[in-house]
Every structure is written in C-alpha cells, then in structure tokens.
Amino acid sequence: MAVPTTSRRFLTAGVAALALVIAGCSSGDDASSDGTTTVPSDRTSITESEAPQAIVSLSPTTTEMLYAVGAGDQVIAVDDQSDYPEGVPVTDLSGYNPNVEAILGYDPDLVVATDDNGNLVAGLENAGVDVLILPAAVTLDDTYAQLEQVGAATGHVGDAAELVAQMQKEIDEIVASVPEREAPLRYYHELDNTYYSVTDDTYIGEIYAMLGLTSIATGGDGYPQLSSEFIVEQNPDLIFLADSQCCGVTPETVAERAGWAELTAVRDGQVHVLDEDIASRWGPRVVDLVRELAAIVVAAPAGQPAP
C-alpha cells in the first residue's frame, strides 16, 4: 500500500545504512555502482580555510544540522521546506524534485541533501560541485554520525563533536530520569489521519522504547497502516498525534471517532499533540523530542494489561 506523502519524511527511515556521497572529488575516490563517489579519507581533516563557503541545503534536516554544527554562515540557500532555525535563506528550491540548473544558479561549492532525487548527484558532479547525501537516519547513532559528517565536510569537526557529546549526555540524563514500570506503557503514534503508525523497529520507535514504551503497531516495514477497529481493540495507554498540523487532528477530534471515547488514553487525557517537524526530523532537535516525550511518560498513569 502506498505511503501517504504527509509522512514521507519519517517513512524514508527504512534506509538500511548511511551513505555519505561526495560528487566531484578526486579520481582516487571509491566509486559506487551508480557513478557517485564516496568521501575520501582526507576530507575528515578539512581545515576552516578549505571549507566550502557557498552551501545549498535541500532538506529541513540537513539545514538544521548545518546550523547546529556552526556552518550557518556558509549556507547561501535552503529548500522550500526548511523553516528552522529562524532566518534561514529559504528559496523555492525543492529537495523532492531538484532542479540542477536552479541550484547551480546559486554558484554553490557544496550541496547537502537527503536523497539523490532526479539524478541530482550526477548533474552536480558534471558541474564540478560537491554533494553530501545524508539519508534518513535509522537510529540515534546514525544522527550522531551524520552530524559528525556534516562537521567534517564543512570545516567544523570540533563543533560537531561537541554537539554530539552534548546531545548524548542530555539524552542519557533524560532517559535516566524516567522510572521503570512493572509493565511498559503501550502507545499509538499517528502519522496521519488514515492511521499509518510506527513500530518499535523505527527511528522514533527506538526513542519510545528508550523511555519504556512499546507500540501497539507491528509490521515488517515499520510503518503499517492500522484500522480504527484494531486501535480500539488494542486500547493504548498513550496516543501521540503527529498529524495535527497537516491534517487538523486534535485530542477533541480523536475522542469523536467511533468507539474512541472509551479508550484508556482518551479517558485519562493522554492524547498528546507533537510538533510534526521535530517528530519527523532526525537532526539536533531530537533532544527536544526525547525531553518532551519523557515528561509525558513520567506524568502518565499506570498502564493497562495488554489485550
């Protein structure tokens, strides 16, 4: 079944491994089967004077990463979906349907994106422009690795290392503050109003599991479409809505769904609206997501037995 476009940013997290791609590097680079090249080892020691000074970012997550590692002053343009941090140089460039000619109009020396859509890498490689591809993270460790890769590619190795260390410290402290329960709380995470959800075997599922939660959703692809009847039958302790901004779903509209008023989560006031951007991006603000979820878990009442 087709995945709804409203959820596509997180649903791309089925990528099995990170791929770091630099186009337009030296002929000694390792080439992949699709003609792109992997980052050479000497890029990890790039100096500030060698760093790119005209960076184009084609995804909200890569934009956040660039600014978080201290490369914001080097960013000259970002895609039409990037909206954080405030004041980023938003353009009409698209990461979903990239126009190589339009990108080259900004005269970049580095383009950072999450996908090689529309033969982006080949087009920019032909123009001699470096490309850093950072696919959707599968785990928190992937996020840390990508931040370090962004730092290495932009001349901010030390800043990236400090950021990663701080994120790890904060997340460890947050997780340690959540008391263990005799039985894990069961949750339903709603990606959109057609009941697509997440399993424990996803990026955000890992975060929920760290906080002692378990999903009512199961499925091999990690993002199954559930039915309203199944959700009612499973009776989750907590409901998280990642579709309020996109689809107008609120705790009130959830309670109006057939049979949902008697759900434990609804009766206990445990239907929570999440910021869709923070909940769908795998960048530095994942710490904010972990902190918000932890506060909800700590305050939640005891769970119900699984059906």
Contact partners, residue 299, CB within 8 Å, separation at least 6: none
Mean pLDDT of 172-191: 95
Phi, psi for residue 54 in degrees, rounded to 5: -140, 85
Q: Would you state the pLDDT for residue 46?
A: 64
pLDDT of residue 47: 64
pLDDT at 279 over 80: yes
- Using CA atoms, how far apart are residues 102 and 92, in angstroms rounded to an integer? 9
| Residues of the chain above pLDDT 70, percent | 82
Q: What is the pLDDT of residue 192?
A: 94
- The 8-class DSSP code of residue 261 comes to G
Dihedral sign from CA coordinates of 164, 160, 92, 128: negative
Which of 77-81, 140-144, 219-223, 282-286 is predicted with the least confidence, judged by mean pLDDT?
Answer: 219-223
Q: What per-residue confidence (pLDDT) applies to 301?
A: 86
pLDDT digit string, tens, across residues 190-227: 999 999 999 999 999 999 999 999 999 998 789 999 99
The Cα 28–Cα 199 span in angstroms is 42
What's the average model confidence in pLDDT over 243-256? Answer: 95
Q: What is the 3-state secondary structure (H, E, C) of 153-170?
A: HHCCHHHHHHHHHHHHHH
Q: What is the DSSP string of 195-244?
A: -B---SSSHHHHHHHHTTEEES---TTS-PBP-HHHHHHH--SEEEES-H
Q: Mean pLDDT across the stretch 157-185? A: 96
Question: What pLDDT, in 10s, does the model give residues 10-64?
Answer: 333 332 222 333 333 322 333 332 323 333 333 444 666 689 999 999 999 999 9
Task: Output the pTM of the full model.
Answer: 0.84
Instruction: Answer for the pair 75, 88: CB distance below 8 angstroms, yes or no.
Output: yes
Rounded to an integer, the average pLDDT of 177-185 is: 91
pLDDT higher than 70, residue 303? no
